[in-house]
Homo-oligomer: A and B are copies of this chain.
């Protein structure tokens, strides 16, 4: 199975915000994340990277666009 842990990067630190994520859907300036149990969260952020082997997705906040 490929459930993924989702982190947000703030001030150079990685903070776990959601786990067992099974799908994500882009919406305006962020993403809806859905987990294995059907729980959904909206995160205003961009994707920095996804490592499909480590089951890890790292987001950064949308504001302060580089």
Chain A residues within 8 Å of B, Cβ to Cβ: 1-4, 21-26, 31, 46-53, 55
Contact = CB atoms under 8 A, between A and B. Distances in A.
Contact of A55 (B2, B51, B53, B55): B2
A24 B22 CA distance: 17
A65 to B, nearest CB: 11
Dominant secondary structure at the A interface:
strand
Contacts of A24: 47, 49-50
Nearest to A56: B23
| Residue from A1, A3, A47, A52 whose CB has the most chain B CB atoms within 10 Å | A52
A25 to B, nearest CB: 5
Contacts of A22: 51-53
